[in-house]
């Protein structure tokens, strides 16, 4: 989204977590959270850039929200989201390693 400031890259690089997807719609974030909770898949959501402050000022974060799951659960989580007919920007292990550079 913003190549100059690097907001187009994942912001978290925790060992054992994989980027599941990046969402730009708060309603989808809530829906995915509910789906992951229902399936008892642990997750972590992280706003890109200054997401918390931007969300307060604007009501949403136009830079997106990343959802991470433990690497052991990433395939099951992707299967669940694909079954829901998702069109989000799915992450991959490559996306996480790009942020290391």
**17-98, what's its fold?**
Alpha-Beta Plaits (3.30.70)
- How confident is the model at residue 30, as a pLDDT? 92
For the cut 90, the answer to whether the pLDDT of residue 93 exceeds it is no
pTM: 0.68
Retrieve residue 62's tokens: 């136009």
Compute the distance between CA of residue 12 and CA of residue 42 in angstroms, rounded to an integer.
16
Query: How does pLDDT run across 24-44, given as a tens digit for each residue?
Result: 888 899 999 999 999 999 999
Residue 49 CA: distances (Å) to CA of 5, 17, 40, 52: 9, 19, 28, 9
Compute the distance between CA of residue 81 and CA of residue 67 in angstroms, rounded to an integer.
12
Taking phi over 0 as left and psi of -120 to 50 as alpha, with beta for the rest, 24 belongs to: alpha
């Amino acid at each position: 989204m913003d190549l100059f400031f690097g907001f187009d890259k994942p912001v978290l690089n925790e060992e054992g977590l994989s980027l599941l997807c990046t969402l730009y719609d708060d309603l989808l974030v809530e829906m995915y959270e509910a789906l992951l909770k229902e399936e008892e898949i642990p997750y972590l959501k992280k706003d890109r850039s200054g997401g918390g402050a931007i969300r307060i000022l604007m009501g949403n974060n136009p830079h997106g929200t990343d959802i991470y799951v433990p690497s052991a659960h990433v395939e099951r989580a992707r299967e669940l989201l694909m079954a829901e007919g998702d069109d989000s920007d799915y992450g991959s292990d490559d996306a996480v390693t790009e942020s290391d550079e």
